[in-house]
Amino acid sequence: MSATMGELWEQVDALSRSFYERVKTTSSRLAGTLAGLPRDDPRLLDWLKERVWREREGARSHAYVVVKMADVLDAHALVFLARQAMEEGMHYQYLYPCLQARGATIDGYEPKPSWRRVFKDEFDVADERDPVSLFSSFHMGGEGPASASADVYSKAFLGTAHEDISLAYQQIAPDEAGHWAAGRKALRGYLQTPQQAEQALAVLTHHGEHLFGQYHGRAAGTAD
């Protein structure tokens, strides 16, 4: 017996929430290590450079979505994504001073190849111009984990030498949670058939596992 739309949506939603919980666990483990490091420790600086770079790339990829998909998105989704592009840019603005305060910048920074692939995948999804794939990968697969890690970091550095990082993430975390919630609502509105729901589940599985691998690799010290 084929699954109903309601059952398929529950699977999509549950999988998104599972990525949130998995990333929360790995981020908590990583934060426990980072919080005790000196301000100039290379491991902390490398992590912070990666986070700053990712916020900038997030602004770039969401702005690309707005340009590429403006004529296939409904008005509400288009405005939401345009606002998200701006907020991702603000996250970059919040975090960069934390890096500069430690005597570092991202000038000449080269991220791990695995993170370059994550963002290449995002641009490729935008090129497909399909809202179901977009919200499944960017939001159910991406913003859920982003929300989880931001929530962890907003708390993990309190009372340490890195309280400025905590303050930055206290501004970022509500945005990430809002992006996840808005993307979830948008995806649900675009799912009209069981086939689309199955597509959403497949896209989320692929992109979510790929993204989780980067969080896990960073926490385990095995990211390429």
DSSP 177-222: HHHHHHHHHHHHHH--SHHHHHHHHHHHHHHHHHHHHHHHHHHHT-
Query: In the chain, what are the domains?
Result: 5-220 (1.20.910.10)
pLDDT at residue 214, as a whole number:
78
pLDDT at residue 208, as a whole number:
84
Is residue 224 predicted with pLDDT exceeding 70?
no
Cα dihedral 121, 139, 108, 106, rounded to 10, equals -170
Q: What is the rounded average pLDDT of the residues 174-190? A: 97
- Whole-prediction pTM value? 0.93
Q: What is the rounded average pLDDT of the residues 13-21? A: 95
Question: Tokens 């929360």 appear where?
Answer: 24
Amino acid at residue number 202: A
Q: What is the rounded average pLDDT of the residues 9-29? A: 95
Instruction: Please tell me which residue, 213 or 179, carries the higher pLDDT value.
Output: 179
The model's pLDDT over 191-206, given as tens digits with 9 standing for 90+, comes to 999 999 999 999 999 9
The model's pLDDT over 36-91, given as tens digits with 9 standing for 90+, comes to 999 999 999 999 999 999 999 999 999 999 999 999 999 999 999 999 999 999 99
Amino acid at residue number 70: A
Average pLDDT value over all residues in the chain: 94
Is residue 3 predicted with pLDDT exceeding 90?
no
pLDDT at residue 166, as a whole number:
98
The model's pLDDT over 110-124, given as tens digits with 9 standing for 90+, comes to 999 989 999 999 999
